[in-house]
Amino acid sequence: MNALEFFTAELAFRTDVSDVQQDRTGLVLVDSRGAEAWRQSHIPGAVHMPTREIATRAPAELPKDRPIVTYCWGPGCNGATRAAIEFAKLGYEVREMIGGIEYWQREGFAVETPQGKQAQDGDPLTTVVDTSRCDC
Protein backbone atom coordinates (compact mmCIF):
# COMPACT_ATOMS: atom_id res chain seq x y z
CA MET A 1 0.00 0.00 0.00
CA ASN A 2 1.36 3.42 -0.87
CA ALA A 3 0.70 6.75 0.85
CA LEU A 4 -2.13 7.74 -1.51
CA GLU A 5 -3.95 4.45 -0.93
CA PHE A 6 -3.41 4.61 2.83
CA PHE A 7 -4.68 8.16 3.30
CA THR A 8 -7.60 7.65 0.93
CA ALA A 9 -8.60 4.58 2.93
CA GLU A 10 -8.19 6.54 6.16
CA LEU A 11 -10.77 9.09 5.00
CA ALA A 12 -13.10 6.32 3.84
CA PHE A 13 -13.17 4.74 7.31
CA ARG A 14 -12.70 7.69 9.68
CA THR A 15 -14.26 11.07 10.13
CA ASP A 16 -13.73 13.84 12.66
CA VAL A 17 -15.98 15.69 15.05
CA SER A 18 -16.08 18.84 12.95
CA ASP A 19 -17.24 16.94 9.87
CA VAL A 20 -19.91 15.10 11.86
CA GLN A 21 -21.14 18.36 13.39
CA GLN A 22 -21.24 20.04 9.96
CA ASP A 23 -23.31 17.31 8.31
CA ARG A 24 -25.14 14.67 10.32
CA THR A 25 -27.74 14.24 7.58
CA GLY A 26 -28.39 10.62 6.82
CA LEU A 27 -25.94 9.07 9.25
CA VAL A 28 -26.56 7.27 12.52
CA LEU A 29 -24.20 8.37 15.30
CA VAL A 30 -23.55 5.56 17.80
CA ASP A 31 -22.08 6.01 21.28
CA SER A 32 -20.40 2.71 22.14
CA ARG A 33 -19.57 3.52 25.79
CA GLY A 34 -21.19 1.98 28.84
CA ALA A 35 -24.29 3.19 30.67
CA GLU A 36 -22.51 5.38 33.23
CA ALA A 37 -20.52 7.20 30.56
CA TRP A 38 -23.70 7.72 28.50
CA ARG A 39 -25.50 9.21 31.50
CA GLN A 40 -22.57 11.52 32.24
CA SER A 41 -22.78 13.07 28.76
CA HIS A 42 -23.46 12.11 25.17
CA ILE A 43 -23.90 13.78 21.81
CA PRO A 44 -27.50 14.89 21.20
CA GLY A 45 -29.26 12.56 18.79
CA ALA A 46 -26.75 9.74 19.21
CA VAL A 47 -27.89 6.16 19.74
CA HIS A 48 -26.53 4.44 22.83
CA MET A 49 -25.31 0.97 21.91
CA PRO A 50 -22.38 -0.40 23.91
CA THR A 51 -20.01 -2.50 21.81
CA ARG A 52 -20.95 -5.76 23.52
CA GLU A 53 -24.62 -5.22 22.47
CA ILE A 54 -24.08 -4.34 18.80
CA ALA A 55 -24.30 -7.89 17.41
CA THR A 56 -27.68 -8.51 19.04
CA ARG A 57 -29.28 -5.05 18.91
CA ALA A 58 -28.11 -3.43 15.68
CA PRO A 59 -29.90 -5.70 13.18
CA ALA A 60 -33.24 -5.01 14.86
CA GLU A 61 -32.71 -1.34 15.71
CA LEU A 62 -30.53 0.31 13.07
CA PRO A 63 -31.17 0.60 9.33
CA LYS A 64 -28.57 -0.89 7.00
CA ASP A 65 -29.15 1.79 4.36
CA ARG A 66 -27.68 4.61 6.49
CA PRO A 67 -24.00 4.98 7.34
CA ILE A 68 -23.02 4.39 10.95
CA VAL A 69 -20.46 6.60 12.73
CA THR A 70 -19.13 5.26 16.03
CA TYR A 71 -17.60 7.22 18.87
CA CYS A 72 -16.22 6.52 22.33
CA TRP A 73 -14.20 8.60 24.83
CA GLY A 74 -11.38 10.07 22.79
CA PRO A 75 -8.03 9.56 21.11
CA GLY A 76 -6.70 7.56 24.05
CA CYS A 77 -9.49 4.99 23.67
CA ASN A 78 -10.00 2.42 20.92
CA GLY A 79 -13.61 1.66 21.84
CA ALA A 80 -14.98 3.31 18.70
CA THR A 81 -12.66 1.15 16.60
CA ARG A 82 -13.92 -2.03 18.31
CA ALA A 83 -17.52 -0.88 17.79
CA ALA A 84 -16.83 -0.15 14.11
CA ILE A 85 -15.49 -3.69 13.72
CA GLU A 86 -18.74 -5.10 15.13
CA PHE A 87 -20.81 -3.05 12.68
CA ALA A 88 -18.56 -4.06 9.78
CA LYS A 89 -19.04 -7.74 10.68
CA LEU A 90 -22.78 -7.16 10.29
CA GLY A 91 -22.35 -5.56 6.86
CA TYR A 92 -22.98 -1.93 7.84
CA GLU A 93 -21.22 0.96 6.14
CA VAL A 94 -19.31 2.31 9.13
CA ARG A 95 -16.76 4.96 10.04
CA GLU A 96 -15.07 5.87 13.30
CA MET A 97 -15.30 9.45 14.62
CA ILE A 98 -11.75 10.27 15.68
CA GLY A 99 -11.44 12.37 18.80
CA GLY A 100 -14.57 10.91 20.38
CA ILE A 101 -16.73 12.81 22.82
CA GLU A 102 -13.62 14.46 24.28
CA TYR A 103 -12.90 16.40 21.11
CA TRP A 104 -16.61 16.97 20.48
CA GLN A 105 -16.67 18.90 23.75
CA ARG A 106 -13.26 20.50 23.25
CA GLU A 107 -14.52 21.99 19.98
CA GLY A 108 -17.39 23.55 21.93
CA PHE A 109 -20.21 21.34 20.61
CA ALA A 110 -23.18 20.64 22.89
CA VAL A 111 -23.72 17.44 24.83
CA GLU A 112 -26.68 16.06 26.75
CA THR A 113 -26.06 15.70 30.49
CA PRO A 114 -28.29 14.91 33.48
CA GLN A 115 -28.67 18.71 33.82
CA GLY A 116 -29.77 19.12 30.18
CA LYS A 117 -27.98 20.25 27.04
CA GLN A 118 -24.66 21.97 27.75
CA ALA A 119 -21.78 23.38 25.72
CA GLN A 120 -18.47 24.84 26.77
CA ASP A 121 -16.22 27.28 24.99
CA GLY A 122 -13.95 25.77 22.36
CA ASP A 123 -10.47 24.83 23.54
CA PRO A 124 -7.89 26.96 21.71
CA LEU A 125 -5.46 24.03 21.84
CA THR A 126 -7.74 21.95 19.62
CA THR A 127 -9.92 24.31 17.56
CA VAL A 128 -10.22 27.81 16.19
CA VAL A 129 -12.35 29.54 18.82
CA ASP A 130 -13.62 32.44 16.68
CA THR A 131 -15.36 30.31 14.05
CA SER A 132 -17.18 27.00 13.74
CA ARG A 133 -14.73 25.71 11.09
CA CYS A 134 -11.01 25.12 11.00
CA ASP A 135 -10.97 25.29 7.16
CA CYS A 136 -8.60 22.35 6.89
Give the span between the Cα atoms of 15 and 21, in whole angstroms: 11
The amino acid at residue 30 is: V
Please list the pLDDT of the chain residue by residue as tens digits (136 residues): 899 999 999 999 999 999 999 988 899 999 999 999 999 999 999 999 999 999 999 999 999 999 999 999 999 999 999 999 999 999 999 999 999 999 999 999 999 999 999 999 988 888 887 766 667 7
Q: Where are the alpha helices (DSSP H) in 17-78?
A: 17-22, 35-40, 54-61
Which are the catalytic amino acids? 72
Please tell us whether the domain made up of 3-118 is placed in CATH 3.40.640.10: no
Q: Which residues contact 2 (CB under 8 A, 6 or more apart)?
A: none
The domains of the chain are located at 3-118
Element (H, E) at 77: none
Q: Is the pTM of this model over 0.85?
A: yes
